[in-house]
Amino acid sequence: MNEAGGYYLEELSVGMSAEFAKTITEADILLFGAATGDNQAVHFDEEYASKTRFKGRIAHGMLSAGVISAAIGNRLPGPGAIYVSQTLKFKAPVRAGDTVRAKVTIKEIFPEKKRVLLDTVASVKDTTVLEGEATVMVSRKADIEAST
Amino acid sequence: MNEAGGYYLEELSVGMSAEFAKTITEADILLFGAATGDNQAVHFDEEYASKTRFKGRIAHGMLSAGVISAAIGNRLPGPGAIYVSQTLKFKAPVRAGDTVRAKVTIKEIFPEKKRVLLDTVASVKDTTVLEGEATVMVSRKADIEAST
């Protein structure tokens, strides 16, 4: 583990997985809208949202992506990992009160490039709401030791 | 335009583009951390962050992705468009005080599937911080008229 509590590249192996969950509240949707500037009616106007295919207000899709990002940054590989890329397929809406559970699993490790490919899935109970893959860069313990 | 101010599929053409910009404040980073649960030290602990390759605190990468999402939802195709997928390549860090400018451009339209492929780029001044592609679903005006 590095000083911030994240894994070094040498400590990772294919198949390792971790989860991070977050209950999405009305307040979180409000905060996310303020932080990003995305104040669309489908997130904030119940009368409008109730007439859409979603039959009511939904959370921003990118808010669930943020929970995946939190799973990577908080858990696996954890602090110190650098986000390189992420793909996202939005599968189902998330509503206030839903608990979004992000699961990240190591699919492949590229030691030369110090990169790790992760399978990333966010679910609400048994429904997948968001899925994709992430690539992150992770420090090698050997490099840190050689430089100190 | 639909009732929420977004484009119908028939009103879109390849090459159309739109921008949405958001200055990322310290408060936005705090709000984003609270909404997603991503409270990593690199975003909130200046003493830790100053020792990383970023030489100081940075905003969450997914916060810039949220600004791209806002450009799609607020501007093009605008309200009513449904997010299908997004790819993200994180190219450079964003810091409090930076203005993230998201530009979305229509690359391809698939009338049968009612889907639109967009090129999505977020920049801070002349530096690309995030790039990728989005697919969204857009209603056809003809379908709406046929159903009313």
Per-residue pLDDT of B21-35, as tens digits, reads 999 999 999 999 999
In a domain, B2, yes or no: no
Show residues of chain B in contact with A37, CB under 8 Å: 20, 22, 66-67, 70, 74
Nearest to B31 by CA among A98, A111, A81, A36: A36
| Cis status of the peptide bond prior to A79, with omega within 30 of 0 | no
Average pLDDT over residues A85-96: 98
In a domain, A77, yes or no: yes
Residue A106 belongs to what domain range?
9-23+60-146
Instruction: Give the per-residue pLDDT at A142.
Output: 85
**A:B CB pairs within 8 Å:** 132
Show residues of chain A in contact with B90, CB under 8 Å: 83-86
In a domain, B1, yes or no: no
Average pLDDT, chain A: 96
Work out the number of other CB atoms within 10 angstroms of the CB of residue A63. Answer: 30
In a domain, A46, yes or no: no
Instruction: Give the per-residue pLDDT at A4.
Output: 86
Show residues of chain A in contact with B84, CB under 8 Å: 89-90
In a domain, B4, yes or no: no
In a domain, A105, yes or no: yes
Look at the pTM and tell me if it is higher than 0.80: yes
Considering only the beta carbons, identify the residue of A31, A32, A79 that sits closest to B40: A79
Interface test with A, best of B20, B24, B62 (most A CBs within 10 A): B62
Show residues of chain A in contact with B81, CB under 8 Å: none
**Residue A65 forms contact with B (CB below 8 Å):** yes
Structure tokens at A103: 């699961």
Looking up residue A94, the CATH number of its domain turns out to be 3.10.129.10
In a domain, B127, yes or no: yes
**Residue B38 forms contact with A (CB below 8 Å):** yes
CA distance A70 to B62: 10
pLDDT(A147) > 80: no
Structure tokens at B61: 């990468």
Per residue in B66-87, pLDDT (tens digit) is: 999 999 999 999 999 999 999 9
Burial class (CB in 10 A: 0-12, 13-18, 19+), A142: exposed
If one counts the domains in chain B, the total is 1
